[in-house]
Structure 1
Amino acid sequence: MSSVVVTGAGSGIGAATCRRLAAQGIDLVIHTGSRHEAADAVAAECSAVRTTVVVGDMALPSTVDALLDAAMALGGAPGEAGGLRGVVANAGFADKTTLAELDDDILERSLRTMVVSVAHLLRKSLPLLALSGQGRFVAVSSFVAHRFTLGASTFPATAAAKAGVEALVKAAAAENAARGVTVNAVAPGYVRKDRANAGALTEEQWKQALLRVPAGRLATPDDIAAPIAFLLSREAAFITGQILHVDGGMTL
């Protein structure tokens, strides 16, 4: 058997990714920062496979260790058929604080939760992924690292963090391609949120956001989970170091 770690999986893109992978028979380590009940509910939806829920702050190396220990316990010993097959680094949040109002604490929170956590996760998981023979690492970035529009929120702290994530992805891809490990990122556009998790925008801002999407609709979490699952698959073995924009044409 093989296992995949999905961080930030209590709802939205992470939860949709878990459901899609479970349908393929892949065992899951389901991470949440604090929403234990939500993660348990996702695990219940994925009951056809073995699951483990891990709760913890991704900025802490101890959380990364717990995730990988859980993955190896599900997937088998290093070097055996199975083991850790993939990692989806999805944990994060959107912060629309303007640059003029941005203080060090707000900026550092974004960098710790996204850039530092992904660096920890890459360093610890890449050797295990190399042992699997088909290792895949997929980070979730965002259009905010690429698109800055007059009159719209620019999310400077989130943009800086996601740009850092993409730089780490490319560096890791270059360093690990010869080991058979692929490292890529998916950059969603505006994604329709779960009802209980409205996100950083007001209802009026969501309406304005929709006007910026050439496809004429917001993405669903499953719209993003589908390319994540593809990048984790054997069919994506020759794709690495890429940022795949899944945004309905926003970054045209």
Structure 2
Amino acid sequence: MTNDPFRLDGKVALVTGSATGIGAAIATALAAAGADIACHGKDEPGEATMAAVQKLGRRAAGMAADLADRAAHAELVRRTKAELGRIDILVNNAGLIRRSPAVEYSEEDWDLLIEVNLTSAFRLSQLAGKQMLEQGSGRIVNIASLLSFQGGILVPAYAASKGGIAQLTKALANEWAGRGVNVNAIAPGYITTDNTAALRSDEARSRQILDRIPAGRWGEPSDIAGAALFLCSEASRYVHGHVLVVDGG
């Protein structure tokens, strides 16, 4: 054991949406700190992420599941416990985005985004939180967004779901902080992921975004990993209900 408050030796983390992007970066960072990782993706669990975890000497369990299917939530938690023995950390990272003017936004897209981005985060937190409360310790980190605070353009369902994530984080923290479970969130700025590919390919829109970022660049998934490690570790033991903005200023 070590006195380093950022170490996660002996911990097990379930990271949703960890096949690529921010989720993959977080999963790898937690493994580097000593955690075993349950890797999740919609269609496949992320062989590259699992290989990176195993290369770091940690155990990796792979799970594919569509979070729009509510039966998948309980199955993810069950399999994490069955294959890795317990669950100490939950990172609700998986999410979708659909762009359309509000007056044209389809009911199907609205329902899908609320289900995947918000409802699944609540259900997974509820299910994992039950074990964490029983063991008297745990960490839940939700991936919010700058649109938790701003309305954005052409993304009403995404903005609504991420606003909900911020408030869900605070609500769970209010209930669970006194029982050993830390619930916090990270609000990434503009990060180079599949969800921002359309923005980055639009030269004018990309320039408008860059002009507003003091750091002068788009963020990388790895820029989120350090914040996640902090919130998953003992270094943040007195941090509850916080939405940590990581946006280049």
- TM-score relative to the length of structure 2: 0.89
SS class of match (1:13): helix
8 Å CA contact retained: 1:96, 1:200: no
Q: Deviations over 1:74-103 (max 9, x none)?
A: 443xxxxxx311000000022222212212
Write the distance in 2 (CA, Å) between the matches of 1:118 and 1:247: 22
Equivalent residue number for residue 169 of structure 2: 169
SS class of match (2:124): helix
Equivalent residue number for residue 2 of structure 1: 11
Identical counterparts, % of pairs: 34
8 Å CA contact retained: 2:148, 2:165: no
8 Å CA contact retained: 1:119, 1:168: yes
Pairwise CA RMSD: 1.7
Q: In the alignment, is residue 242 of structure 1 matched against residue 234 of structure 2?
A: no
Q: Deviations over 1:143-170 (max 9, x none)?
A: 1222347xxx352110001111111111
Write the distance in 2 (CA, Å) between the matches of 1:156 and 1:102: 8
Deviation at 1:6, TM superposition (A): 0.2
Pairwise mapping of residues 30-179 of structure 1 onto structure 2 (< 5 A)? 30-34=39-43, 36=44, 39-47=46-54, 48-76=57-85, 83-148=86-151, 153-179=153-179
Paired amino acid for 1:66 = E
Write the distance in 2 (CA, Å) between the matches of 1:122 and 1:224: 20
Write the distance in 2 (CA, Å) between the matches of 1:22 and 1:68: 18
Write the distance in 1 (CA, Å) between the matches of 2:112 and 2:193: 22
Q: Deviations over 1:45-83 (max 9, x none)?
A: 11121111111111323222222122213443xxxxxx3
Q: Which 4+ residue blocks in structure 1 deviate beyond 4 angstroms? A: none
Deviation at 1:105, TM superposition (A): 1.2
Deviation at 1:225, TM superposition (A): 1.3
Aligned length: 236
Write the distance in 1 (CA, Å) between the matches of 2:202 and 2:62: 32
Query: More displaced, 221-230 or 197-206?
Result: 197-206
SS class of match (1:46): helix
Equivalent residue number for residue 214 of structure 1: 214
Structure 1: where are the runs of 5+ without partners?
77-82
Write the distance in 2 (CA, Å) between the matches of 1:167 and 1:97: 25
8 Å CA contact retained: 1:7, 1:30: yes
Equivalent residue number for residue 5 of structure 2: none
Structure 2: where are the runs of 5+ without partners?
1-9
Write the distance in 2 (CA, Å) between the matches of 1:19 and 1:145: 26
